Amino acid sequence: MDILPDFSGPQNASETDAVILAAGDFPTHPIPLGLLARAAEGHIIICCDGAADRLLREGFTPLAVVGDGDSISPEARRRLSDRLHIESEQDTNDLSKAVRYAVSQGMRRLTILGATGRREDHTLGNISLLADYQARGLDVEMWTDYGVFSPATGRRTFSARAGQQVSVFCLDDAPLTLRDVRWPLEGRRITRWWQATLNEALTDTFRIETRGRIIVFRTYAD
């Protein structure tokens, strides 16, 4: 998806089919807030039930509210009763339920907000789910108040800016090649999550190649 090549602000809201708001920390940075505002204009916000009350307080109305229904107030439930989709099964979390709903509506280019913060176990779980979503053929990214997480595999070229911090998290034991960064790698097996983090782009792109699943994090401009 890579909808923000220069990391200065959302360029085209039409390049995502839906913005999914999870129940972590509500966005405060201008970039994810801009994504949320544009999604509101396009009526494409899908909200996890735990984020519904905050979304209403911020003046936004979602297209749909999805989850097991245990985290939404009676008032929000009443106001959003015509778009509330309760899924009581506990094999998946509310974020995955929201993604599944989006896919059922023909939406495959997804932007996830509010999926980090509050509880660290939820944060790690949500980030790791990006690889699962990509394996289903979805074009998905997770935007935070600090940068963007993008799942990848195979050969990929990412947009960047010179000096931008880049971290790569390897989920599989597979060789990783990383080029056009300050500390390049060539067919290196990464066995610990931290080993390919805190790198730095040298130009306006950098290249990655791997047979395994990875998650790339790029920071915003200062």
Q: Say yes or no: 197 and 182 in one domain.
A: yes
If asked whether residues 138 and 190 sit together in one domain, one would say no
Domain co-membership, 141 together with 46: yes
Q: Which amino acid is present at 165?
A: Q
Q: Are 111 and 59 members of one domain?
A: yes
pLDDT of residue 222: 61
Least confident of 1-10, 74-83, 119-128: 1-10
- In a domain, residue 5? The reply is no
pLDDT of residue 219 exceeding 80, the answer is yes
Domain extent for 132: 13-145
Q: Residue 149's beta-bridge partner residues?
A: 142, 217
Is 2 domain-assigned?
A: no
As beta bridge partners, residue 71 has: none
Q: Are residues 193 and 115 in the same domain?
A: no
In this structure, how many other beta carbons lie within 10 angstroms of the beta carbon of residue 106?
A: 8
Q: Are residues 25 and 95 in the same domain?
A: yes
Task: Report pLDDT for 112.
Answer: 97
Residue 1 lies in a domain: no
* Backbone angle region of 9, left / alpha / beta, with phi > 0 → left and psi within -120 to 50 → alpha: left
Q: Which CATH number characterizes residue 186's domain?
A: 2.60.120.320
Same domain assignment for residues 134 and 176: no
Residue 3 has a pLDDT of 38
pLDDT band at 91 (very low <50, low <70, confident <90, very high): confident
What does the radius of gyration of the chain's CA atoms come to, in whole angstroms?
A: 18
Q: Give the chain's domain count.
A: 2
Question: Do residues 117 and 176 share a domain?
Answer: no
Residue 8 lies in a domain: no
Distance in angstroms (rounded) separating the CA atoms of residues 115 and 132 = 15
Q: Kindly report, residue by residue over 1-38, the tens digit of the pLDDT.
A: 443 444 433 334 458 999 999 999 999 999 999 999 99
Q: Does one domain contain both 212 and 176?
A: yes
Give which of 118, 114, 28, 45 is closest to 83, Cα–Cα: 45
Give how far Cα 53 sits from Cα of 37, 57, 103, 171, 183, Å. 16, 6, 24, 34, 44
Mean pLDDT of 39-48: 94
pLDDT digits 0-9 by tens, 156-191: 999 999 999 999 999 999 999 999 999 999 999 999
Q: What is the pLDDT of residue 89?
A: 77
Q: Residue 28: is it exposed, middle or buried by C-beta count within 10 angstroms (0-12/13-18/19+)? A: exposed
Specify the 3-state DSSP secondary structure of 33: helix
Average pLDDT score over the chain: 90
Indicate whether 37 belongs to any domain. Answer: yes
Calculate the alpha carbon distances from 124 to 115, 149, 180 in Å: 9, 12, 28
Are 167 and 114 within one domain?
no
